[in-house]
Amino acid sequence: MMVFNALRVLIMIAVGYTGFSVGMLVLPFWNGPEPTVKWSLVILLAIVAGLIGYSIAPPIISGLIQLARKFEAALNKIPAHDIIGGAVGLILGLIIANLFGVSFYRFPIVGPYLSILASLVLGYLGWSVGTKKRDDLLSVVSNWRSGKDKSGKGETKVLYKILDTSVIIDGRIADICKSGFIDGTLLIPGFVLEELRHIADSSDLLKRNRGRRGLDILNRIQKELDIKVKIHEQDFDDIQEVDSKLVRLAQLVNGDILTNDYNLNKVAELQGIKVLNINELANAVKPVVLPGEEMVVQVIKDGKEAGQGIGYLDDGTMIVVENGRRYIGQTISVLVTSVLQTAAGRMIFAKPKLAQKPNHLSLEVPSGV
């Protein structure tokens, strides 16, 4: 209320001063009554104008408040880096317009108008270019800060690893962090936490269990592991998909995305974002085997083709044993014949060593019977 009254008084003074200024402009050309009467009428005009301003101030203030709220709502919908880029471009445009304006003022009559026009045009162009080239501007600032960090002042650049929903639910990220292979700070976006909460509250039992598992993994990382964890509350209301929000956030903080989502991996790489895929890490640390090497494997079931047996290594790699069906339930030595790398993982083809005998009951018929 105090602010409202202060604005009302300011509007009254502004309108009253306008009335006084009009009276002062007319006064030299008024050949009527005496100067005392003229001044009295000018003062009366200022008072009347002030009262008019005081009476019309409430709708003006209400209109200004509504306009400010609409402007604030429009700004809230614009991403922060767009505003920063546009502001930098606007400032540069106005600086250039001011430099040109000094020259334009020398032109008679139209000089001031050309200066105003240059400010409007170059200011708009600066804002437009700044919003469209925001990524380039941010990269320049980032590179400048990186150079400053390397100048020997002891400042270190924060390395962010952004977690997506799939890698949190997967759970292996906790063991990877515990092993010490992840450096920097784990950045958990607020919209990812919100998605986890929705999954945990789902009516579907499987989804609900997955969501709760993801929340338990986050609690374990925060409380038990010696790694920095930061919650990033900024959301991007102009973007609907979580994957697109993750890419935008990675661009904003210059961070890497931790995921096991194949589609997010490809989309992020197309936009120049570094992706750490834990599925690729799991495949990379699997033991390397070459044709001709000997392995020990337990045959646990039969394969798709006739006579095949199937076994698994400790890391889950499937081993297809030719003519291994008769060895089901046994642990045997096999020789690797070939290795096949597929999108789902690695498959090893092998054959039993010739010296082994299948473990089955045989009936010997005595001679002479």
Give the per-residue pLDDT at 155: 47
In a domain? residue 143: no
Q: Which residues contact 11 (CB under 8 A, 6 or more apart)?
A: 53, 54, 56, 57, 60, 61
Give the per-residue pLDDT at 98: 80
Does the pLDDT at position 145 exceed 60?
Answer: no
Mean pLDDT across the chain, nearest whole number? 80
Does the pLDDT at position 18 exceed 70?
Answer: yes
Q: What is the DSSP letter of 183?
A: -
Does the pLDDT at position 30 exceed 80?
Answer: no
More confident residue, 296 or 117: 296
In a domain? residue 139: no
The DSSP code sequence of 31-71 is: -SS-HHHHHHHHHHHHHHHHHHHHHHHHHHHHHHHHHHHHH
Give the per-residue pLDDT at 361: 45
What percentage of the chain's residues is helix, strand, coil (to nearest 5)? 55, 15, 25
Query: Is the entire prediction scored with pTM above 0.75?
Result: no
- From 284, 305, 327, the end of a domain falls on 284
- From 258, 284, 310, the end of a domain falls on 284
Same domain (yes/no): 183, 234: yes
Using alpha carbons, list the distances in angstroms from residue 355 to 91, 351, 358. Answer: 83, 12, 10
- Both tokens assigned to 17: 């001063």
In a domain? residue 151: no
Give the per-residue pLDDT at 309: 92
Same domain (yes/no): 225, 124: no
- Among 16-30, 69-83, 177-191, the range with the most confident prediction by mean pLDDT is 177-191
Give the per-residue pLDDT at 74: 75
Give the per-residue pLDDT at 152: 47
Report the domain count for the chain: 3
User: 3-class DSSP state for residue 231?
Assistant: strand
Using alpha carbons, list the distances in angstroms from residue 263 to 250, 266, 267, 271. Answer: 16, 5, 6, 13
More confident residue, 127 or 253: 253
Give the per-residue pLDDT at 138: 60
In a domain? residue 347: yes
Does the pLDDT at position 363 exceed 60?
Answer: no
Same domain (yes/no): 280, 306: no
Across residues 108-128, what is the average pLDDT?
Answer: 77
| Confidence bin at 154 (pLDDT 50/70/90) | very low
Same domain (yes/no): 279, 318: no
Same domain (yes/no): 177, 280: yes
Give the per-residue pLDDT at 139: 61
Same domain (yes/no): 320, 263: no
Same domain (yes/no): 167, 268: yes
What CATH number should be reported for the domain holding residue 167?
A: 3.40.50.1010
Give the per-residue pLDDT at 311: 92
Q: What is the pLDDT of residues 257-312, one digit of tens each?
A: 988 888 888 888 888 888 888 888 877 777 778 888 888 899 999 888 888 999 98
State which residues form the domain around 219. Answer: 160-284
Does the pLDDT at position 369 exceed 50?
Answer: no
In a domain? residue 329: yes
Same domain (yes/no): 47, 126: yes
More confident residue, 59 or 365: 59
Give the per-residue pLDDT at 265: 85
